[in-house]
Structure 1
């Protein structure tokens, strides 16, 4: 911490010197060999370079579940047709008549060939990657060499999203230097754009920590090149985040007592705020930021829950006052949970839902801004997000205490740590989509388990046989 506390700069200033090479751009498209063809309605069709490149994005995903989803197929085909020549648009009108199998096989074979490279060839590729990392993966920040987190621009491809995202299958366009804003210090060597190109803009903004930025075309959100988590600035930011959560520990009991008292308030807005805060505290729900209607997926957080997102059960599975949540949260990840709540919370929810339609807001007198203003008045720097950090940290600490044995070896302690992290992931509803190799991996693991069981069984049989032989030998000696 002392490292982050030294060299204090004036408010808002993050650095005095910042020098870097700019982003490393995704390599340009290499055309398919002449013997690898795309077929339309059973006939080979030579595609223009831009159309062919986008066809390869879809072809690479043929064995993925995404390409079976109608929304993915429709979004892909609509965006693909936009990039076609007018002649190609006249011919290619139906995705079902498109045959990408030969292109798919080409990339599968290419991937297998890469895996089969000799040790020397793999080492050569590693050295090339290390050279790029050395050149683009570091910056000079206030006289210190710091590692950059993500120094490469994302390659073009098809947007996947998480969960059932409505924009899945849309074309993620190639990022060009003309899209990129560079941020560095005035007295530094400004990074050179690739030959024949220029930057969108060069800034000298020492109040931000990003090195370069651009707007991605799917959701029109800004993407940044940032410092590595191990860097001074990133570490300092994380440290400050956890320090705020540590301060919450000292006042959380007082805040909880207040929101419990507000469940009985005469003001409806106070009751709604108190119940929402209870959910954020107890279930680590995200607050749910307001967004433009129709611009993104229908995702919600605590403050933007609608009546249709919860069901109330006076009794369920042997528990009383059960609330059943079912909604899409951040990144379209489903949040499904049945939780027993306090009687007053349950009664308030019944009141909030009275005479409302399923599409009506559950907390119609509350939004994230109102909630965070209230929290800020209770403690400087407090927001709904801090509760999530606090509860995740407390859960990890309690789980580590319960699961870790000081006598365990490193493997045992690591297992305890991973189990503790899993408890935090469950609390925060952190999920990853099932990998396409999941079933195969499970089959391989089961095969290994079965093989080990067979070995144990055979060893037990051999042991019994050896014991029987030993007893027979003893008996024979005794008789002699």
Structure 2
């Protein structure tokens, strides 16, 4: 019954998160918070005198601030960045006259030296990292010791962004204590700033879960130091997110029927809203947020699509009513897709495009606020992201059911899992550029496959010879030899198959990022249940950090779990 299910879930949640009497009744608030603040990036250390910078063929001694920026550039000579400092600005007028080769060689040598470190040197670094972790990597929240996520402040450098970001190459300035807002309890031992420095502000806001914050200078966005994903609060929010998506599953058919009916509405605003919701549901598009012009790249979501972002084709590639999308999505990642849509959606899009210029809004009667308000009316807690989470999780579950074969080896089953995950990543447009080392790593893998095939050929010949010898002698010694050779062939066959599966997996994932969907959109209980059903070690799917993040799911999910 519903009551029994509710009671079961309550027990599971209470067990999973180890709630205790002193825990605040509101999961988003805390009563006590104490921590030691962030770890700042080390101060800049000037280069050795022997490492020189040349401008227009002549050695030029740079001031420490300018030299630090020059080192950022020297580390990335493959990119075209612009940078100058005030003292050198009047002298350095042509970047093409700058010679960073000695700096570049120096950093390459430093990188190589790190690879050649002795065990003792590595041990000292490990001990220092452990010391910093123990001092700064934990906080006390409501009488519980919780792990902090990113307690180190990012060092200064050149902004790279993702995709074709217009601010790529700008200087990320050094974050100082005067930039940091600390959040902790009034009655806690407040973190001390570095000697001679002070914090920008100390707050005591128990309605937020961040421990420190600052504003970065490139886009003016606020950065936070948060609890580790494995913390109880993060786990609670994760669980709630996937439970909301599961609630959508129960009413999604009703919602789909409603927005299909709305395609025929007499009101243009309702038609536009319904078509946008169809795209969010079918294509996992983000809703899109308004932003100040010129602040970031020209990225859009569903509600902010313009006429220039779509093309309509009554027939294309033997399919009818095809819509071609081409725009920059989140993080300046290009979204390109050709998708057949229902006839009424196609007709509505033709109507929306009438008498409009390329730069005009496709949905001129719709914005994210209107859409989000409508989604809340459809279901409490419903957002565009809930649709992404629901469609991602249900796709994974369906793909795993279709692709997994009980008789497959573990490597083959993991390949099936990654293919199911890849279907989700494609749905959510989680792309990546192929790693620079991709071709080399594939060549190395192919070399291993070739060598293993030679080993297998040799082993099979040896097995054939052993069988012939046994046939002639019929003694126990030759019989044992045949068995040894047979096992050797089986072992090498398994090793070869594992390498071949690995090569297939790597090639198919070349331009797809699997991690984003796995960490943010896929109910982990689906993966855990799949592992339990097919006897797959959980560490084959989730690494140590991910297992900590999804500890609640690992404890909760049974092998018959259904999203």
TM-score, length basis structure 2: 0.77
Does 2:52 correspond to 1:37?
yes
- How far apart, CA to CA, are the structure 2 residues paired with 1:230 and 1:150? 13
Q: 1:401 offset after TM fit, Å?
A: 2.3
Does 2:111 correspond to 1:58?
no
Count of aligned positions? 459
Write out per-residue CA displacement over residues 134-191 of structure 1, whole angstroms, 9 at most, x where no aligned residue.
1111111111111111111111100001110000000011111110000011111000
Write out per-residue CA displacement over residues 9-30 of structure 1, whole angstroms, 9 at most, x where no aligned residue.
4558511011111111111111
Residues 241 and 323 (structure 1 numbering): CA distance in 2 closer, same or farther, change over 3 Å?
same
SS at match of 1:443: helix
SS at match of 1:91: coil
Q: 1:417 offset after TM fit, Å?
A: 2.9
Write out per-residue CA displacement over residues 376-424 of structure 1, whole angstroms, 9 at most, x where no aligned residue.
1111111112111111111122222223345556544443333322221
Residues 141 and 457 (structure 1 numbering): CA distance in 2 closer, same or farther, change over 3 Å?
same
Moved more, 283-292 or 12-21: 12-21
- How far apart, CA to CA, are the structure 2 residues paired with 1:278 and 1:308? 20
Query: What is residue 185 of structure 1 aligned with on the other side?
Result: 185
Query: What is residue 34 of structure 2 aligned with on the other side?
Result: 19
Conserved? CA contact 2:214–2:223, under 8 Å: yes
Alignment root-mean-square deviation, CA: 2.2
Residues 44 and 453 (structure 1 numbering): CA distance in 2 closer, same or farther, change over 3 Å?
farther
Q: Equivalences for 1:95-114 in 2 at 5 Å? A: 95-114=95-114
Q: 1:242 offset after TM fit, Å?
A: 1.3
Does 2:91 correspond to 1:84?
no
TM-score, length basis structure 1: 0.90
SS at match of 2:36: coil
Conserved? CA contact 2:151–2:225, under 8 Å: yes
- How far apart, CA to CA, are the structure 2 residues paired with 1:468 and 1:319? 60
Residues 334 and 118 (structure 1 numbering): CA distance in 2 closer, same or farther, change over 3 Å?
same
- How far apart, CA to CA, are the structure 2 residues paired with 1:188 and 1:398? 49
Conserved? CA contact 1:284–1:391, under 8 Å: yes
| Unaligned 5+ runs, structure 2 | 1-12, 475-563
Does 2:194 correspond to 1:194?
yes
Conserved? CA contact 1:40–1:99, under 8 Å: yes
Write out per-residue CA displacement over residues 421-449 of structure 1, whole angstroms, 9 at most, x where no aligned residue.
22211111112333332232233223333
- How far apart, CA to CA, are the structure 2 residues paired with 1:406 and 1:467? 33
Query: What is residue 261 of structure 1 aligned with on the other side?
Result: 261
Conserved? CA contact 1:216–1:223, under 8 Å: yes
Query: What is residue 351 of structure 1 aligned with on the other side?
Result: 351
Q: Equivalences for 1:185-334 in 2 at 5 Å? A: 185-334=185-334
Query: What is residue 124 of structure 1 aligned with on the other side?
Result: 124
Conserved? CA contact 1:375–1:382, under 8 Å: yes
Q: Equivalences for 1:366-381 in 2 at 5 Å? A: 366-381=366-381
Residues 169 and 120 (structure 1 numbering): CA distance in 2 closer, same or farther, change over 3 Å?
same
Q: 1:287 offset after TM fit, Å?
A: 0.5
| Unaligned 5+ runs, structure 1 | 68-72, 475-480
Query: What is residue 389 of structure 2 aligned with on the other side?
Result: 389
Conserved? CA contact 1:50–1:84, under 8 Å: no
